Amino acid sequence: MNSKKIALVTGASGGLGSAFAEDLARRGYALVLTARKADAMAALAERIRASQGVEVVVQPADLSQAEGVKELTAALDASGLSPTVVVNNAGFGLHARFAEQDADRVASMLRLNILALTELTRFYGQRMMAAEGGHILLVASVVAHMPAPLLAAYGASKAYVLSLGEALHVELAPKVGVTVLSPGYMETGFDAASGFQPTPATRRTALLPAKVAVIGLDALFKGQPAVIAGNANKLIATIGKLLPRTLVARRFYKATAGRYRGH
């Protein structure tokens, strides 16, 4: 891969990750796709090569495992691949009462959502600083902006992502651009993985992953510190900041508890 414009997308086997990959290809970036599902990424890579004519490398990795990031970065180094854009998109959620959640699943989620994202951001952020250029997009969530009962650990992990990214936007500037994207509900694989059942009102706020990807990448390349995708989600996040957090938590719980499969 000879291109000087190389984008690494994590969680690239479907949903928002696929949308990021397709939009970056349209912007002229060669791609490195990583996720656990190699077959899904291979199909996406073939489609992008055919439609956009860019180089695409598929590098399967399980970033929820302790050595996942080290194995991924070692494989990319061995192939001579040095991303100039990193999209930290991989993550999953758990929708259940905290005390009822499986300890191993919680640990796996936190390793992926927090530790893997942090390790990749540090690893490539350091290299981008040395090269005096690069961009990193961190994917948080609208629930990063408020306490979220029944999504408590997931929401907390995304609040970490938001805080980290906003700090690094200042710390790594001007050489490296860091932006945090906070999507709301989307029709992806999140529901099946988390056990979340959206209300009709939540479904009405849904944006297509392709639209969310464009919002996030536009903000990244414009140098914005953070962006919330969709007007409804911006309103939700604003209300979450203006009202007392205990009140927000109670209202969130009341709105979602009836949809909880374990309720």
Out of 29, 124, 154, 185, which one is annotated catalytic? 154
In a domain, 210, yes or no: yes
In a domain, 162, yes or no: yes
Number of domains in the chain: 1
Cβ distance 180 to 226 under 8 Å? yes
d(CA 99, CA 102): 8
Task: Answer yes or no: 124 catalytic.
Answer: no
In a domain, 10, yes or no: yes
In a domain, 262, yes or no: no
Per residue of the chain (263 residues), what is the pLDDT tens digit?
666 899 999 999 999 999 999 999 999 999 999 999 999 999 999 999 999 999 999 999 999 999 999 999 999 999 999 999 999 999 999 999 999 999 999 999 999 999 999 999 999 999 999 999 999 999 999 999 999 999 999 999 999 999 999 999 999 999 999 999 999 988 665 555 545 666 666 677 778 999 999 999 999 999 999 999 999 999 999 998 999 999 999 998 988 876 554 43
In a domain, 263, yes or no: no
Residue-number span of the structural domain to which 220 is assigned: 6-257
d(CA 58, CA 79): 12
**Residue 262: what pLDDT?**
45
**Residue 196: what pLDDT?**
62
Residues 6+ apart with CB under 8 A from 257: 149, 150, 263
* CA distances, 93 to each of 14, 113, 142, 150, 161 (Å): 16, 9, 13, 10, 14
**Residue 205: what pLDDT?**
72
CATH number at residue 166: 3.40.50.720
In a domain, 186, yes or no: yes
**186 closest CA partner among 154, 233, 224:** 233
**Residue 189: what pLDDT?**
58
**Residue 263: what pLDDT?**
36
